[in-house]
Chain A
């Protein structure tokens, strides 16, 4: 694969540079972008968090020799994976390191950090390096045909997402090679599997002519990338339907739309700038008289922290107001709270009413 060849070449170039430096009798070094929320800026026009320029330089010294060796080892593993067109989960990479004697990792978080370093170093994502996460990508149902490829025959495979009955199509870990065919009007992204099940079961996608995607909590990179590629290639609007609480807003929705602070070097690919917030908004709680739970201390803290420090929220006044309103009300409401008015109230009333005015969705 050409993608792989390109990456292998990058790795070799870097290794050659390091080797050259060593042979000159100098200490080699590597520069990594600093991966932290403080090194992130919300770029409104591009629509995602991007890295500010800060980098840290890791020069090979007595103190860094262990990490340095591990990083090179990891790059070497990546090269092997790419050359043989194989993949390794992060957990598997950790076990491979057990062959490295003194340079082995004692705990998986150590090896994960080195993998993150390597991907940030090359400005690639870990799937491009041959490493895959353990996590599941998310589920899809509705008016969509995904075009995949058979690994052996290279024949195209057309997967019709309307044909899963009460089940759903699972987003694969690597989505770069997928192509799409659809006549849907929009993509509806749902936080909980429970709500997704309800909408699938009642064929909501047929009624609303849409594609349903379940995130199951904070969306994985694959899920974000899938939605992004689908929305970009078919010019579809993306509406997000999550719980009405600080976590749903500032963690799930924010991460889907603009990316995360930690993987800022990759947000360019793993974000969905066209996403809009359908609900549940703080206003919905009042409008629909939803049953609520009191906000916990962590919720309030999370909301205040977002208002103060999250570059995305800071950029959007309406979001600040919405969060303030939530704090003031002191309550939160889940998606399923709509069931108070009848199990299918969400399908018959709530979603149609909301979808009549997409322009009112929060940014």
Chain B
């Protein structure tokens, strides 16, 4: 497994904890656009609490500082994780030590390198639009003149209890937000996080992924999970943070198609393991065949969201490079629709370039072979598109940019903003191109956003997307269910809220794996990762339900999924997949996305209809032919019984009638 962390939320906006201590899960975010920029700054190390406030911005009493979040400690391993055996690659990809990284890049807050990794966030200044100002770290009023009344708290006494909550503490209490709400789901989520990371890292490093997933039952509801990959491995110094710190990862601040997004996933799994078993996780990783592998035993210090290294060693590992994580957890292994088995099956379906070995607890090993040697085209990172940006994000970007004037700012920080387009936009917004970005007021920024909407701006570049492709989808589906008919459609890229996305649909019909009357099997993927839970809340399901399957010859009850011997696979690839929740289980209902899914479904449906009609016709034809052969002799025999004529006469009647019917049928 690699080191990238994923998951968490998208956000960049500011967030800080409210006095109530509700703190941000990663979710508060604001728009999708700002990830790139805001983030790349700092990383946090350990528990020191720093405030991120900028000077001059509101003055905070000491207490506040504790609660306002710093910029999240996310670091970008830009080229990071991967390391190829080749020397060149190695050099290029080796991550820099963290402090270096922290300082490079954008100018930062004064905060200093150590911030608490809280939620992503708080940069300064204007609150992002989604977070009401009130909860943005305003200090509790100090009680001037507040009268104390009996039995009630004063601001001061309340203040004594107000303190920061670390992200890890928050998730320890709210594990359902991350997909650890039930025992079977916990196992699945842990597998999913590890597998997502492994696949992401292999692809980033250009290595055809080989994965091993092993689940061993230790005792009732106690399992040992081992996931190993042949990826690039993780640089030694990064290992503890990748696995032992929430919201630490490489993907959050880059607009690029990947399974992981926020840097929460694997460390959340580690935390879950720790919460339920008290044991550390074991990580083995090796980046270079000439060096030994590193072995760590890690835990998370939840109060401070920092990794604790229990032991550290080196090892002669049989793999030249790669990563393996081993964790023990309280969970439940189940069969069925939402099982780990089904999940890995689907992973194999959407990742024909990966080889997957699965050792389930009781049954024998399952191997999903690689169907193609070709790795998916590498998805490029892109800058945010003006149509997706929100006010708070824009304000943050204005503060952080190195550009000297707004025109330069627009060209440099956004995709598709040519000199010409930038001037157009600025003219519409009534802002002089030479204004310093730092001087742009909030009102002007709003004007800018309105101008974005009005101006003609090219759609975002789509090379950040890496679809599976019709050919491979079809091959995957065909090897999976051996259908009588299959087809796939990859739509051209489209855009929602400034984020490019692309829809693919594959459809398999008939064959030995289906029975006639069941509801169709719907398999959903987002960036090649299967979506297992919350099917009914998902825009994909919504689109399938709202497609008129009956006109394609497939049965469908009103407001329900169609039924018949059919598998429908829908894949959405996007630099930023809009999930409805942190646990990444369902796609949000953007009209643009629903429209694209339906178009793809309809195209597949039309092809299916042709197939079904052909089949129906052929069957009817055969049936009619056999009808004539079977029943006409009876007409002859019955007439002969009634009228007692000769056998010759009977034959004459039969042949005459057969001819008549055959003829009329052809007309």
Measured between beta carbons, the chain A residues less than 8 angstroms from B660 are 22, 25-27
Q: Check: A43 CB closer than 8 A to any chain B CB.
A: no
Task: Tell me whether A102 and B631 are in contact in the complex, defined as CB-CB below 8 angstroms, given that A22-B657, A79-B642 are known contacts.
Answer: yes
Min CB distance, B149 to chain A, in Å? 65
Which residue on chain B has the smallest CB distance to residue A11? B642
The reply to whether A76 and B624 contact each other, CB–CB distance below 8 Å, is no
Cα separation A15 to B661 with both chains bound (whole Å): 19
Number of interface residues of A (CB under 8 A): 30
Which residue on chain A has the smallest CB distance to residue B643? A15
Measured between beta carbons, the chain A residues less than 8 angstroms from B631 are 65-66, 68-69, 102-103
- Binary flags per residue of A72-103, CB closer than 8 Å to B gives 1, else 0: 11011001100000000000000000001111
Q: Check: A61 CB closer than 8 A to any chain B CB.
A: yes
Q: Check: B653 CB closer than 8 A to any chain A CB.
A: yes
The reply to whether B661 and A76 contact each other, CB–CB distance below 8 Å, is no
Q: Check: A18 CB closer than 8 A to any chain B CB.
A: yes
In the complex, which of the residues A12, A18, A72 contacts B634, with contact meaning CB atoms closer than 8 Å? Answer: A72
Min CB distance, A18 to chain B, in Å? 7
The reply to whether B656 and A25 contact each other, CB–CB distance below 8 Å, is yes
Measured between beta carbons, the chain B residues less than 8 angstroms from A1 are none
Cα separation A60 to B639 with both chains bound (whole Å): 14
Q: Check: B147 CB closer than 8 A to any chain A CB.
A: no
Which residue on chain B has the smallest CB distance to residue A15? B642
The reply to whether A65 and B628 contact each other, CB–CB distance below 8 Å, is yes
Measured between beta carbons, the chain A residues less than 8 angstroms from B630 are 66, 102-103
Measured between beta carbons, the chain A residues less than 8 angstroms from B656 are 22-23, 25
The reply to whether B661 and A73 contact each other, CB–CB distance below 8 Å, is no
Q: Check: B635 CB closer than 8 A to any chain A CB.
A: yes
Q: Check: A16 CB closer than 8 A to any chain B CB.
A: yes
In the complex, which of the residues A12, A19, A61, A76 contacts B653, with contact meaning CB atoms closer than 8 Å? Answer: A19
The reply to whether B628 and A72 contact each other, CB–CB distance below 8 Å, is no
Q: Check: B146 CB closer than 8 A to any chain A CB.
A: no
Q: Check: B153 CB closer than 8 A to any chain A CB.
A: no
Measured between beta carbons, the chain B residues less than 8 angstroms from A73 are 634, 637-638
Which residue on chain A has the smallest CB distance to residue B653? A22
Q: Check: B606 CB closer than 8 A to any chain A CB.
A: no
In the complex, which of the residues A12, A61, A63 contacts B643, with contact meaning CB atoms closer than 8 Å? Answer: A12
Cα separation A135 to B409 with both chains bound (whole Å): 96
Q: Check: B664 CB closer than 8 A to any chain A CB.
A: yes
Measured between beta carbons, the chain B residues less than 8 angstroms from A72 are 634-635, 638-639, 642
Cα separation A76 to B664 with both chains bound (whole Å): 27
Which residue on chain A has the smallest CB distance to residue B659? A25
In the complex, which of the residues A63, A66, A76 contacts B642, with contact meaning CB atoms closer than 8 Å? Answer: A76
Which residue on chain B has the smallest CB distance to residue A100? B634
Which residue on chain A has the smallest CB distance to residue B642? A15
Cα separation A72 to B636 with both chains bound (whole Å): 9
Cα separation A153 to B558 with both chains bound (whole Å): 70
List residues 627-665 of chain B with CB under 8 A from any CB of chain A: 627-628, 630-632, 634-635, 637-639, 641-643, 652-653, 656-657, 659-661, 664-665
The reply to whether B634 and A15 contact each other, CB–CB distance below 8 Å, is no
The reply to whether B661 and A60 contact each other, CB–CB distance below 8 Å, is yes
Measured between beta carbons, the chain A residues less than 8 angstroms from B659 are 25
Min CB distance, A88 to chain B, in Å? 15
Measured between beta carbons, the chain A residues less than 8 angstroms from B643 are 12, 15-16, 19
Measured between beta carbons, the chain B residues less than 8 angstroms from A79 are 641-642
Min CB distance, A239 to chain B, in Å? 46
In the complex, which of the residues A18, A62, A70 contacts B624, with contact meaning CB atoms closer than 8 Å? Answer: A62
Which residue on chain A has the smallest CB distance to residue B645? A19
Measured between beta carbons, the chain B residues less than 8 angstroms from A66 are 627, 630-631
The reply to whether B635 and A69 contact each other, CB–CB distance below 8 Å, is yes
Measured between beta carbons, the chain B residues less than 8 angstroms from A23 are 652-653, 656
Interface residues on chain B, size class: 20 to 34
Min CB distance, B609 to chain A, in Å? 24
Min CB distance, B664 to chain A, in Å? 7
Please classify the interface of chain A as helix (H, G, I), strand (E, B), loop, or mixed, using the class held by over half of its residues: helix
The reply to whether B639 and A65 contact each other, CB–CB distance below 8 Å, is no
Cα separation A72 to B628 with both chains bound (whole Å): 16
Measured between beta carbons, the chain B residues less than 8 angstroms from A25 are 656, 659-660
The reply to whether A62 and B657 contact each other, CB–CB distance below 8 Å, is no
- Binary flags per residue of A40-67, CB closer than 8 Å to B gives 1, else 0: 0000000000000000000011110110
Measured between beta carbons, the chain A residues less than 8 angstroms from B634 are 69-70, 72-73, 100-103
- Binary flags per residue of B474-491, CB closer than 8 Å to A gives 1, else 0: 000000000000000000
The reply to whether A75 and B642 contact each other, CB–CB distance below 8 Å, is yes
Task: Tell me whether A62 and B661 are in contact in the complex, defined as CB-CB below 8 angstroms, given that A19-B653, A22-B653, A79-B641 are known contacts.
Answer: yes
List residues 1-49 of chain A with CB under 8 A from any CB of chain B: 11-12, 15-16, 18-19, 22-23, 25-27
Which residue on chain A has the smallest CB distance to residue B632? A65
Min CB distance, A20 to chain B, in Å? 10
Min CB distance, B263 to chain A, in Å? 63
Cα separation A76 to B631 with both chains bound (whole Å): 15
Min CB distance, A97 to chain B, in Å? 11
Measured between beta carbons, the chain B residues less than 8 angstroms from A101 are 634
Measured between beta carbons, the chain A residues less than 8 angstroms from B652 are 23
Min CB distance, B645 to chain A, in Å? 8
Cα separation A19 to B649 with both chains bound (whole Å): 10
Task: Tell me whether A12 and B642 are in contact in the complex, defined as CB-CB below 8 angstroms, given that A61-B661, A65-B661 are known contacts.
Answer: yes
The reply to whether B638 and A76 contact each other, CB–CB distance below 8 Å, is yes
Cα separation A16 to B649 with both chains bound (whole Å): 13
Cα separation A232 to B651 with both chains bound (whole Å): 51
Which residue on chain A has the smallest CB distance to residue B625? A62
Which residue on chain A has the smallest CB distance to residue B661? A62
Measured between beta carbons, the chain B residues less than 8 angstroms from A68 are 631, 635
The reply to whether A69 and B642 contact each other, CB–CB distance below 8 Å, is no
Cα separation A34 to B659 with both chains bound (whole Å): 30
Measured between beta carbons, the chain B residues less than 8 angstroms from A16 are 643
The reply to whether A19 and B639 contact each other, CB–CB distance below 8 Å, is yes
Measured between beta carbons, the chain B residues less than 8 angstroms from A61 are 661, 664
Min CB distance, B637 to chain A, in Å? 8
Min CB distance, B511 to chain A, in Å? 30
Which residue on chain B has the smallest CB distance to residue A23? B656
Cα separation A102 to B643 with both chains bound (whole Å): 22
Min CB distance, A359 to chain B, in Å? 53
Min CB distance, A92 to chain B, in Å? 18
List residues 188-213 of chain B with CB under 8 A from any CB of chain A: none
Measured between beta carbons, the chain B residues less than 8 angstroms from A103 are 630-631, 634
Which residue on chain A has the smallest CB distance to residue B624? A62
Which residue on chain B has the smallest CB distance to residue A62? B624
Cα separation A16 to B643 with both chains bound (whole Å): 7
**Interface-centre pick from B638, B660, B661 (highest chain A CB count, 10 A):** B638
Cα separation A192 to B641 with both chains bound (whole Å): 45
Min CB distance, B655 to chain A, in Å? 10
Measured between beta carbons, the chain B residues less than 8 angstroms from A11 are 642
**Interface-centre pick from A15, A19, A75, A101 (highest chain B CB count, 10 A):** A19
The reply to whether A69 and B661 contact each other, CB–CB distance below 8 Å, is no
Task: Tell me whether A69 and B632 are in contact in the complex, defined as CB-CB below 8 angstroms, given that A75-B642, A76-B642, A80-B641 are known contacts.
Answer: yes
Cα separation A300 to B634 with both chains bound (whole Å): 48
In the complex, which of the residues B624, B638, B641, B664 contacts A69, with contact meaning CB atoms closer than 8 Å? Answer: B638
Measured between beta carbons, the chain B residues less than 8 angstroms from A100 are 634
Cα separation A61 to B667 with both chains bound (whole Å): 13
Cα separation A26 to B663 with both chains bound (whole Å): 11
Min CB distance, A25 to chain B, in Å? 5
Which residue on chain B has the smallest CB distance to residue A80? B641
Min CB distance, B122 to chain A, in Å? 66
Min CB distance, B44 to chain A, in Å? 71
Min CB distance, A75 to chain B, in Å? 6
Q: A23-B653, A103-B634 are in contact. List 18 more A-B contacts (CB 8 A).
A: A16-B643, A19-B639, A19-B643, A22-B657, A23-B656, A25-B660, A61-B661, A65-B631, A66-B630, A69-B631, A69-B634, A69-B638, A72-B634, A72-B638, A73-B637, A75-B638, A76-B638, A102-B631
A–B complex contacts, Cβ < 8 Å, 7 sampled: A15-B643, A16-B643, A22-B653, A22-B660, A62-B665, A75-B642, A103-B634
The 8 closest A-B pairs by CB, nearest first: A72-B638, A69-B634, A76-B641, A102-B630, A15-B642, A69-B631, A103-B634, A62-B624
